[in-house]
A and B are shown apart, each in its own frame.
Chain A
Amino acid sequence: MNHRMPITRRAALASFGAAIAAPSIRPSFAQAAPIRVGVLHSLSGTMAISETALRDTVLMMVEAQNAKGGILGRRLEAVVVDPASNWPLFAEKARELLAVSRVDVTFGCWTSVSRKSVLPVFEELNGLLFYPVQYEGEEESRNIFYTGAAPNQQAIPAVEYLMSADGGSARRIALLGTDYVYPRTTNRILRAFLISKGIPESDIMEEYTPFGHSDWQGIVSRVKRFAGEGKKTAIVSTINGDANVPFYRELGNQGIKAEDIPSVAFSVGEEELAGIDTRPLVGHLAAWNYFMSVDSPANTAFKTMWQAYIRNPRRVTNDPMEATLVGFQMWAQAVAQAGTTNVDAVRTAMYGQKVDAPSGYTLEMHRNHHLSKPVMIGEVQADGQFNIVWRTPGPIVAENWSPFIPENANRRRG
């Protein structure tokens, strides 16, 4: 009985929390009915460390769009709910947004398990979800636009980099992840990829931990041992949420330097690093499609806008925030072009939308509901920022159905 306690408690808490934390912006001057924008991000629980900034990004974009006169002469109104890092609650909150609040579009989810939880709801009620985080692929819902990276836009280039001379010529890979669908699927793809590159099974280590795991000493010392087999070793981390903080702390305490065992993370950005002392971590890597340190006019504008909105000149931006911004701009363009917020019309108008993204490239939405994106590898710096050490020459098109998963052989591409 004790076991079930946290779930029920979280659920109860969440609904309590949501009742308090639903500051929907009331329209003051709109004549026509406002366009409602749902925000479905965890504001509490283990994912709050990552998702809170995304809620703020959407609210910032809504405010900016309203300052420009809204869309189609209508005001935008944000409806914020808190699914509290509780996956079944995501589905309930999605249904509430679509059926009760009648939102025209939703920006939300971080973990794949939360997206999988809301997907049937969006398909059933024909809603529109913009999902801003890199993920494992193997999905293409007509009700979801994926503005984060597919595996070939993040995971595979990152591992290729680790195996290159610049990345340290790693020949032994430790795959560490949180125990849910994204890390498991990504690691399945990576394992197939590594084997295709001639890495034997015995040189791949795979370990999973629960969400919010804090006791990393055993795993980190096992990685150390795994690295002591005479081949250059690297860590590929799909650890999500606040478990990263004790993980990196343990890496630092056990003296694992990037020169010896570099690690590349897929879910750690500027926002997650804001909570830790990064000096022992200098040289560890992260792969994303955007870093705050990118030098582009669009990025300067984005950073200025964000820091002004949040009234903190030291707040950081990160990749999922950029993906949220790109998704929002594309959606706004598509609505303006379609002349309506009708989901089917907006969907058709979305294809081919282009946005000059803060990453410094023009990104395009393709018919597979994914963006073409550039890939960048950044090294952690002592100030918590990333130094970009490698990037693709241009955006690459998403392969959401990975060729490294045998079941996809018969699927149509593109």
Chain B
Amino acid sequence: MKHTLLAFLLLLAAALPARAQDAFVAALPGLAGNFNAQAEAVDRLGALADPRAIPVLRALADGRLLKLADNSLVIRDGTATTDVLTGAATEAAGTEVLRINNRVRVALRGALGRLQLVSPDPAERLAAAEAVFRSRSADNVPLLDAALARETVPRIRDRMAIALAASRLLASDPAAKLLGVEALGASSSPEARSVLLEARAANPDILPQIEAAVAAIDRRLAVRRAAETFFQGLSLGSVLLLAALGLAVTFGVMGVINMAHGEFVMLGAYTTFIVQEACRGIPWLLPWSLPLSVPAAFLVAAACGALMERGLIRHLYGRPLETLLMTFGVGMMIQQTVRLVFGAQNREVLSPPWMQGTLMLPFDIPVTQNRLWILAFSLVVLALTVAAIRFTRFGLEMRAVTQKRAIAASMGIRTGRVDALTFAFGSGIAGIAGVALSQIDNVSPNLGTGYIIDSFLVVVFGGVGSLAGTLVGAFGLGLVNKILEPWAGAVLAKVFVLIAAMIFIQRRPRGLFAQKGRAAEA
């Protein structure tokens, strides 16, 4: 490590003209000027290849570069401040933070990229290659050539090669340009495509080659875009699945039209918020607050569900209209209670770091982390639900009671208890859905209202009483929605989906997976 660092410094020093030392000092005052002067000074520092520039530029980018009253610059690091020129510790009194705008930020990215291309840290080199690609300039060609010759990590080599090709496109040498076009055309990155399109106007002489390169990228991108849309459809489907799964149990299995289902989802989201706030006091627990919320939300929502079933719904079995109105009213009361306790304002539920950002799947298909986790989570919840119904004693009793209540009772099953447990189970799943939704939607008292219609749609579309139907219905509706969205816009796509679902239900009132036999008549 020490050796590489030494070699790195020596390399820079060797590249350093004697005047550069003074040029570094001369460029500094510009950093404290207006945005124009700042951008210019950053460009000059980036061209110097002086290692002292790196901490200064980084500090400027992070808002840690301060100006003292006597116009000298200092870098703040935590509580300590050091002078840019002497490196000596200084007092931070009377300082002013140097602010930047996007133009300076763009210049900073380019300058830092140039300076860090030969950094010993692979992560920095990768970021530098990306930055140099974005701030492409013909001046970077020799720099990138040298860096590429030394680079050993394949991933960084790829990025550098693309950056080099993009920079060559701006060079004056036609042979170099063609080399650049060829290299960019061989990639499958949308950014490379954008660079090529940008170069069209300036290079009419090599237009056919550019067009060919763009077409080549387009062919590769078409597959990727389809995959992207497919993933977005799956992601929307997973959200629908989570929201509808609890309903598939309470409505599908028990036949209770529970209009307060959305409110159980909302209670789950608020439980997530409470668990997060409770974990705040214990720092090591905070990253685990989301996983901890899952059982907590299940218990809270299940308890509310059991209470509602025992207290109200059981008196109304066989009277669907009254059940509908009553659960609707309970839903409003839950909503208003939450509003009174937590206020009408949205509550902030933090995303843990492992749920932020984009993950690149093979073939460069970008998926956002939070959506990926929710997709996986929804499938796990579905699997557990199926397992609970198929393989447990409780599931067996539940199916028995659903199929023929009287016979189940005569076999010694306490049907009332099974009803309560089933309803609590369905409500608990709704609570779990709330944990996932807190990551992608606003945690507000209205959270559930937005999902209740979609949930009923999914359950009815898939076929009442069929978990497989719920699965297919959720992903089917999600995919159709996302495939239509680019053509019709978000508002119209939803309208089309609803119309299609209406026509479908007209044709097949029992949904995709219609129940057959005795259960169908029940």
Contact = CB atoms under 8 A, between A and B. Distances in A.
| From A208, A230, A250, A382, residue with most partner B Cβ within 10 Å | A230
A45 B446 contact: yes
A210 B106 CA distance: 34
Interface in A126-173: 165-168
B35 A166 contact: yes
A214 B450 contact: yes
A253 B358 contact: yes
A259 B106 contact: yes
Interface string B356-374: 1110000000101111000
Nearest to A164: B103
Contact of B449 (A6, A43, A275): A6
A17 B102 contact: no
Interface string B14-58: 000000000000000000000100000000000000000000000
- Interface footprint category on B: 35 or more
Interface string A184-221: 00000000000000000000000111101111011101
B293 interface: no
A349 B490 CA distance: 47
A336 to B, nearest CB: 35
A224 B200 contact: no
A258 B346 contact: no
A339 interface: no
A230 B190 contact: no
B102 A262 contact: yes
Interface stretch (B307-315, B424-432, B437-445): B437-445
Nearest to B451: A214
B441 A214 contact: yes
B491 interface: yes
Given A166-B101, A179-B491, A221-B232, A214 B440 contact: yes
A218 B103 contact: no
A387 B450 contact: no
Given A229-B197, A242-B346, A276-B348, A3 B371 contact: no
Contact of B446 (A20, A46, A209, A245): A46
A148 B362 CA distance: 50
A20 B335 CA distance: 14
A389 B101 CA distance: 7
B191 interface: yes
Interface in A228-270: 228-231, 242, 245-246, 249-250, 252-255, 258-260, 262
Interface stretch (A8-16, A89-97, A359-367): A8-16
A38 interface: no
A67 interface: no
A169 B204 CA distance: 23
Given A276-B348, A283-B105, A2 B236 contact: no
Given A246-B440, A253-B368, A276-B348, A213 B195 contact: no
A209 B358 contact: no
Contacts of A230: 193-200
B99 interface: yes
B489 interface: yes
Contacts of B489: 207-208
B358 A43 contact: no
A44 B99 CA distance: 37
B102 A225 contact: no
Given A230-B195, A250-B368, A379-B101, A213 B328 contact: no
A321 to B, nearest CB: 15
B486 A259 contact: no
B336 interface: yes
Given A5-B452, A48-B344, A255-B357, A228 B190 contact: yes
A275 B445 CA distance: 15
Contact of A208 (B346, B358, B445, B490): B490
Contacts of B179: none
A213 B481 CA distance: 14
A45 B444 CA distance: 8
Contacts of A381: 63
A222 interface: yes
A286 interface: no
Contacts of B239: 215
B103 to A, nearest CB: 5
Residue in B236, B345, B358, B485 whose Cβ sees the most chain A Cβ within 10 Å: B345
Interface in B278-312: none
Contacts of A168: 102-103, 106
A20 B366 CA distance: 48
B190 A259 contact: no
16 contacts: A9-B328, A10-B449, A17-B339, A46-B444, A48-B345, A166-B101, A212-B446, A214-B440, A217-B235, A225-B190, A230-B194, A231-B197, A255-B358, A259-B134, A276-B348, A389-B35
A-B pairs, 3 with minimum CB distance:
A230-B197, A230-B198, A44-B344
